[in-house]
Structure 1
């Protein structure tokens, strides 16, 4: 990630391979073997599909559902979220126009990383927290049929472009910590989302809002869901993962998320930085172009390799083969979540504290006294490095299990094992590459 005085907040505190309690080579080989062993076990012992999105969870007490669905509760949370968005705007304009401003932290930490954590723990919370949805609900036209129907062929593609725009700002733009850049991005996002919602109704944010779609994908790993009768229940996340809607652009969304996280680590490597400096020869915009092409390449490689691996099976017709990447896409969700927490755990907890403190006192009045940031994780680098490896490996193991179970359901019986070999090789490659990049090669 680009460094500089305005981007101090964006440092992830990832450390390096020296922080590992074991040599990085052992971690790489061990992770690859763990993934291979998992595949071998499930391939031999797992002969019938076990996960089904139609499986009902264990319902929580009725009062939980009643409280969550209460109009008073939902409106209170939505209005508080809207007021918080307004407060962030006020704090941005009235606060210091330097790296001490709270906006970059709200944007890159609380919104981008915090949204994933909340969605994994609770569910698709952005549907309730979105200021655009709240404003739309307050308008009389929200109670009428929208002027136009959302084109089915667009699917999640607008969200994929929106997510790429976000990671481009963070990883390829000239100055990702610039208040002007972040403000411009947010204003464009709010304008596009509001206009799209006014035209297409809530179908627009459900398909095109990058934060909502990101939250929907992450929420498929949450333990909470709705039963068919509307009751909030607790169940196996593996039953919930396949409920990810399969629409045009589903694979693209996950490829952008996974590819951008890998590029984040890659872009911090000295070799890449030196290459960018040599090619750009001091030209800022040429450097932006090179980084943009690098970021795009990572996303495309993830999307292409996953799609080819999903289609690499026999015994299916052409139409089914085209559908396989979408049908298998949910297996990428645990991998994406694993990488997010591996990369941004310190970022979320420690920079998140800093952001909350800045947001609580944007004018520097000093009313917080001696309140400061606790750097507990950074003070124990070996523990932190082990957690990073664990998140990556567990994410991939969960992905292998989810992919195997779906393959048993959608592939012909004669090809249920051989049809997964290409996917297994791709996931081993993702694991090896991800850990190698995470710890700086």
Structure 2
């Protein structure tokens, strides 16, 4: 026992530690039960559920509900604060940090040049073209996973920022009223482009899209300064910044700091507006949407609706926009109910801002479940593209995933949700003076999290297929 620590605090600290272990223990138990019941997104066509689907989904939802109940038992504010305040500086010399920064910037610019060049002049076969491999396996999958599993290196790697900082700017003030809404629209536009066009199958089209994106990005950065543009309007930079807030390593001018994954979120202030909330929900929805349209159920749904006489793009647009608004509306509705269950005078907007950051843990879990198997399968091609981007192999090697990868997919989703439950619990105790208020304010958000869990687990239990009409 610490010298000035009361017996009550010692007991509460021990109980809190045990409950934190139980939260992740529940996740592992569910994974063991379900690992033979479902398969991953990338190999879903090779197997079926070994248990009734309703039982599998109910088990996943129950894990999140039970996690919330266990978290509500941890009421010692000092313990919660001590857990979230823990951090450890990682000493690195200034010359070493500067050397790594310059090397990273060079890699970013060189990578952009290689991607555009190989997209236009390389073989127009996606599995043999370095541009496609580097963008989708390297950045879309691998780099994003590195950002939320380790830390955000994109500010140094960002080739457009490196180029913009070398050029003169008009230094105009970024419109405050726009906030991060341009990034929200940009993210949804990129996801839409990836879904309805063969940009991931035609290297020349990919290179063209990157050139257009480069022109728009550099123009915005040179008009409004790189700092303003990449902090607010650039969807890729904002995506990595949000995902990076989950990572355990934080880079700053003063060095590197190690902290538990996501534990800075409750007081990070990373979400401060409606646009930020919309962006966080968009990160969750874009993975849900892409997961749905690449399943047999999604393909049958689209074909059925198109059979009624609607154009395919209209169907996809209605599904994309309507689903996003539904996800966003569910979260806003939860903030309305949380104000009542928590018996507080805080506005629904304030409640939504306070409880949106934990959703980033869910988004990270979704992304890992969606792309881990994809990245592992293309790892040999990715390594070859990095080492020898101008000499594509005659027969690209694609790894086959073992059956137990299905259990990993489930684990990634559930761990992300369990972490989100704990972060929401910590946020509630940092916001409300009353323990009853802190516990009750979480109820509506936990319901939304359970719904997200059930939907994501349902998607990975379905067989995969190429999207209808746009593949």
Instruction: Calculate the TM-score normalised by the size of structure 2.
Output: 0.80
Paired with 1:244 and 1:105, the residues of 2 have a C-alpha distance of: 35
For the Cα contact (< 8 Å) 2:148–2:245, is it kept in 1?
yes
For the Cα contact (< 8 Å) 2:114–2:389, is it kept in 1?
no
Paired with 1:200 and 1:53, the residues of 2 have a C-alpha distance of: 39
For the Cα contact (< 8 Å) 2:381–2:396, is it kept in 1?
no
For the Cα contact (< 8 Å) 1:113–1:348, is it kept in 2?
yes
Q: Evaluate the alpha carbon distance shift between residue 191 and residue 109 of structure 1 in structure 2; reply closer, same or farther with a 3 A threshold.
A: same
SS in 2 for 1:96: coil
Q: Evaluate the alpha carbon distance shift between residue 351 and residue 191 of structure 1 in structure 2; reply closer, same or farther with a 3 A threshold.
A: same
Structure 1 counterpart of 2:422: 401
Matches within 5 A, 1:81-160: 81-99=108-126, 100-139=128-167, 141=168, 147-160=171-184
1:270 to 296, 313, 317: 296
Matches within 5 A, 1:242-253: 242=266, 243-248=268-273, 249-253=275-279
For the Cα contact (< 8 Å) 2:149–2:247, is it kept in 1?
yes
SS in 2 for 1:233: strand
Structure 2 counterpart of 1:240: 264
For the Cα contact (< 8 Å) 1:51–1:239, is it kept in 2?
no
1:389 aligns to 2:414 (yes or no): no
Deviation at 1:316, TM superposition (A): 3.2
Structure 2 counterpart of 1:199: 223
Instruction: Calculate the TM-score normalised by the size of structure 1.
Output: 0.85
Summarize deviations over 1:327-351 as a string: whole Å, max 9, x none.
2111111111111111111111212
Paired with 2:145 and 2:107, the residues of 1 have a C-alpha distance of: 20
Q: Evaluate the alpha carbon distance shift between residue 32 and residue 279 of structure 1 in structure 2; reply closer, same or farther with a 3 A threshold.
A: closer
Structure 1 counterpart of 2:373: 346
1:325 to 343, 352, 373: 352
For the Cα contact (< 8 Å) 2:71–2:425, is it kept in 1?
yes
Deviation at 1:273, TM superposition (A): 1.9
Q: Evaluate the alpha carbon distance shift between residue 301 and residue 53 of structure 1 in structure 2; reply closer, same or farther with a 3 A threshold.
A: farther
Summarize deviations over 1:60-82 as a string: whole Å, max 9, x none.
22xx1525532x33122201221
1:43 aligns to 2:72 (yes or no): yes
Structure 1 counterpart of 2:56: 27
Structure 2 counterpart of 1:3: none
Summarize deviations over 1:147-201 as a string: whole Å, max 9, x none.
2122223222111111111211222346652335423332222112111111111
Paired with 1:269 and 1:365, the residues of 2 have a C-alpha distance of: 31
Paired with 2:314 and 2:103, the residues of 1 have a C-alpha distance of: 44
Summarize deviations over 1:284-308 as a string: whole Å, max 9, x none.
x921221122122222222111122
Paired with 1:270 and 1:365, the residues of 2 have a C-alpha distance of: 33
How many residue pairs align between the two structures? 415
Which runs of no fewer than 5 residues in structure 2 stay unpaired? 1-39, 464-471
Structure 1 counterpart of 2:306: 280
Which runs of no fewer than 5 residues in structure 1 stay unpaired? 1-10
Summarize deviations over 1:374-400 as a string: whole Å, max 9, x none.
43xx1x11x111111111111111111
For the Cα contact (< 8 Å) 2:171–2:223, is it kept in 1?
yes
Paired with 2:129 and 2:410, the residues of 1 have a C-alpha distance of: 33
Structure 1 counterpart of 2:254: 230
For the Cα contact (< 8 Å) 2:41–2:460, is it kept in 1?
no
SS in 1 for 2:257: strand
SS in 1 for 2:85: coil
Paired with 1:68 and 1:425, the residues of 2 have a C-alpha distance of: 47
Deviation at 1:282, TM superposition (A): 11
Q: Evaluate the alpha carbon distance shift between residue 75 and residue 176 of structure 1 in structure 2; reply closer, same or farther with a 3 A threshold.
A: closer
The range that moved more, 428-437 or 182-191, is 182-191
Deviation at 1:17, TM superposition (A): 8.7
Structure 2 counterpart of 1:261: 287
Paired with 2:324 and 2:72, the residues of 1 have a C-alpha distance of: 29
2:87 to 42, 49, 57: 57
For the Cα contact (< 8 Å) 2:335–2:349, is it kept in 1?
no
Structure 2 counterpart of 1:218: 243
SS in 2 for 1:273: helix
Q: Evaluate the alpha carbon distance shift between residue 55 and residue 362 of structure 1 in structure 2; reply closer, same or farther with a 3 A threshold.
A: closer
Paired with 2:140 and 2:235, the residues of 1 have a C-alpha distance of: 10
